Structure 1
Amino acid sequence: MSRHSPILTLLFAIAALALVFSLVFFSQLSFEAAVRGLKIWWEVVFPSTLPFIVLSEILMGLGVVHFMGVLLEPFMRPLFSVPGTGGFVLAMGFSSGYPVAAKLTTRLRQQGNITKAEGERLVSFTTTGDPLFVIGAVAIGFFHSEQMGVVLATTHYFSAVLMGILYRFHAPFATVTKPLDKTNLPLPLRALQAMHRARLRDGRAFGKLMGDAVQSALNTLFMIGGFIIIFSVLIQLFAAIHLTTFISSILTIFLGPLGFPPAFSQAIISGLFEVTLGAQAASVVPDSISLVWKAAIASAILSWGGLSVHAQVASILSETDIRVAPYLLARSLHAFLAAILTFVFWKPLSQVSSWFSERSIPVFTPVTSGIPQASWWETFAFSGAAAVGIAALLLIASVLTRQLISRRS
């Protein structure tokens, strides 16, 4: 069926009209859901995401991203088939969560630093949840277990790296960016040259750069807020008309004969639309269900991300020629890999989590809702430290890779 088919247009129109009537009929419910979505955006997403988008825009304008790109080129290109600038997206995406990686990938594509295929590879494996959400909200808040945080974080991020390695074979014959020219200059000097040239090409005064960064970040965050509110209302409406229950019953019929616990059907349907609701639903299934199953479903939901996040990513990527289809396929594969890795590494990770449980995470302060809360500064400091740590690990890996290649040649 063509995307411009009259039948498809009619279906969209009918769905839109049904949504309007539902909003009118469940007006109070819709209002409360919209307020709840707005609260989540204002109290959680806005303060935690704004600084990273602003700083990322400034770093790009100053050429720091190109500096990192030269240093990380020996590692990122052989392993993930993306230029070294992808290491910046990897560090920021893993530390600050979805959809920051999509925003940075879009900026790199607009600047001509990556090709279409490289952008599709990059956004497909760098779009993840942030550590505070994975460990704090899901593991500690929903499962009330720091040990679960070790399992979820390890399987979530390790499967993302595996996705990056698998996606290096995506569009193998597509155009790629030109590799770095071999010169006699040391790598740090080449990185400084690249940074200086990028800054000269940009040419904006620092004040102008700051203003553009803030404006770009606010535009992106308002778009994200709109999607969060819309999906908050949609999910509540679907629950009110029992659509989620109906789909969950159908899913149970198909998955039951495969040995899949029927209790997780509701969690999967909730996670299909919104990651937080899905993870919470996975944590409240009956205690008779094995904990490893709960961890596997929660890890899969975290890696999938939810249609709410996918809509945000699709909106951001629409500014470029980067396709959404490879990204959606990657999210499905990421969810599958994360669930499988949970079963594979459950025992060794449980032993590590036993050691981890003896330590505390001071940035979290329990509240009556059971979900740990962190101040804006604590969130920024934690995610910032994670970004620096990831960048440092990538730099060490790049240096070791370069030395290994030099010895072989």
Structure 2
Amino acid sequence: MAKRYFTIALCILTFAAMLAFPKAVFNGASEGLLLWFQIIIPTLFPFLLITNLLLMTDSIHYIARSIARPLRFLFRVSGNGSFVLLVGFLCGYPMGAKMTADLVTSNKITEAEGRYLLSFCNNTSPVFILNFIVWKTLGQESLALPTLFILILSPMFVSFLTRRFYLKGASCFPDIRTAKQEKKKLDFSVVDACMMNSFEAIVKVGGYIILFSVLLTLIKELPWENPALNLLLPTLEVTNGILILHQFSFPFILEYPAILALTSFGGLCSIAQTQCMIQKTGFPILPYIIEKLAAALAASLLALCYLFLQGLTL
């Protein structure tokens, strides 16, 4: 009951704030829309479309078969699960979550493997890491390889800690053998269905980005300064959050681990996007949040170790 009243009060307060600060709402919505239109759609939509086509035509089997052996050895995943690994680490939020949910609902991987894959296969893409974090924000090309290494290694470290819980004594997740179904030929009807599915997903992602951008601008309009609140602001949305952390002008030995921790965590906006993608599976979101926080902690510690090895101290 208390949670219900809190939700109602929060919605009313947000509505009142939007009425009180219409300019901030407009600016926030505009920034979110531009981010979605200029960055998210060009980088994410093609991957949404092609992975839908691969899934609908059952072509992931051929890709999974070519990469399954080393990934099965390292992560104990099934053949189809190895494809989620590939997508989750290369294509960016929330592709890992969407592909996991699609394979679970289509009975191509078990629910246990789906939960395991979700715990570490929904990450920021290398393109975003290099373009936005290393080159645009930090402006240090020498950090490209260390940053990639840290942000890829951190969720993998979490997977090594959690997989015993999901495997429950098994050596690896099994390949699901189902009755052979007639493979759909690649024609315009299949492309159309995949395109509509991709449009639905990209619109949902854009809606959450706009929503959290508006919330971010509204919080900035508060008439009082609260240091604790200012430190929590970056956790709302990862792109704006990285810029906010950079603007704080912290010493680099604090800024770099903080940016990598936020990137590994993904922000509350990415959690909302993930929840949207996995809702058909019935997976709870709390374990995912805890595992992303663990990855964020690992990323910050690895970043600190790297900076200390480079001789940088407070």
Check whether the contact 1:117–1:170 (CA below 8 A) recurs between aligned residues: no
Aligned amino acid, residue 344 of structure 1: C
Shift of 1:79: 2.9
Selected match of 1:275 from 230, 233, 238: 238
- Greater Cα offset, 303-312 or 322-331: 322-331
Check whether the contact 1:138–1:280 (CA below 8 A) recurs between aligned residues: no
How has the CA–CA distance of structure 1 residues 271 and 170 changed in structure 2, closer, same or farther, with 3 Å as cutoff?
farther
Matched, 1:343 2:301: no
What's the counterpart of residue 259 of structure 2? 298
Matched, 1:330 2:291: yes
Other structure's SS at 2:12 match: helix
What's the counterpart of residue 18 of structure 1? 13
Report 1:17-36 matches (<5 A): 17-36=12-31
How has the CA–CA distance of structure 1 residues 320 and 204 changed in structure 2, closer, same or farther, with 3 Å as cutoff?
farther
Summarize deviations over 1:119-139 as a string: whole Å, max 9, x none: 111122111111221111112
What's the counterpart of residue 241 of structure 1? 222
Report 1:46-65 matches (<5 A): 46-65=41-60
Shift of 1:31: 1.2
What's the counterpart of residue 107 of structure 2? 112
Check whether the contact 2:209–2:237 (CA below 8 A) recurs between aligned residues: no
In 1: Cα distance, 2:185 partner to 2:173 partner:
25
Shift of 1:242: 5.3
Check whether the contact 2:75–2:159 (CA below 8 A) recurs between aligned residues: yes
In 2: Cα distance, 1:306 partner to 1:242 partner:
25
In 1: Cα distance, 2:308 partner to 2:23 partner:
47
How many pairs were matched up?
310
Aligned amino acid, residue 233 of structure 2: S
Unaligned runs of 5+ in 2: none
Selected match of 2:165 from 166, 170, 183: 170
Aligned amino acid, residue 199 of structure 2: L
Check whether the contact 1:152–1:295 (CA below 8 A) recurs between aligned residues: no
> Percent identity, aligned pairs only?
22
- Greater Cα offset, 233-242 or 101-110: 233-242
How has the CA–CA distance of structure 1 residues 242 and 142 changed in structure 2, closer, same or farther, with 3 Å as cutoff?
farther
Other structure's SS at 1:77 match: helix
Check whether the contact 1:113–1:177 (CA below 8 A) recurs between aligned residues: no
Unaligned runs of 5+ in 1: 1-5, 182-193, 251-265, 352-409
What's the counterpart of residue 286 of structure 1? 249
TM (normalized to structure 1)?
0.70
How has the CA–CA distance of structure 1 residues 242 and 313 changed in structure 2, closer, same or farther, with 3 Å as cutoff?
farther
Shift of 1:177: 5.4
In 2: Cα distance, 1:63 partner to 1:20 partner:
46
Matched, 1:309 2:270: yes
Root-mean-square deviation over aligned CA pairs: 2.5
What's the counterpart of residue 8 of structure 1? 3
Other structure's SS at 1:249 match: helix
Check whether the contact 1:151–1:346 (CA below 8 A) recurs between aligned residues: no
In 1: Cα distance, 2:21 partner to 2:228 partner:
24
Larger Rg: 1
Summarize deviations over 1:64-104 as a string: whole Å, max 9, x none: 21223334443333432321222222222222211111111
Shift of 1:179: 4.2
Aligned amino acid, residue 227 of structure 1: Y
In 1: Cα distance, 2:98 partner to 2:17 partner:
33
How has the CA–CA distance of structure 1 residues 180 and 308 changed in structure 2, closer, same or farther, with 3 Å as cutoff?
closer
How has the CA–CA distance of structure 1 residues 144 and 209 changed in structure 2, closer, same or farther, with 3 Å as cutoff?
same
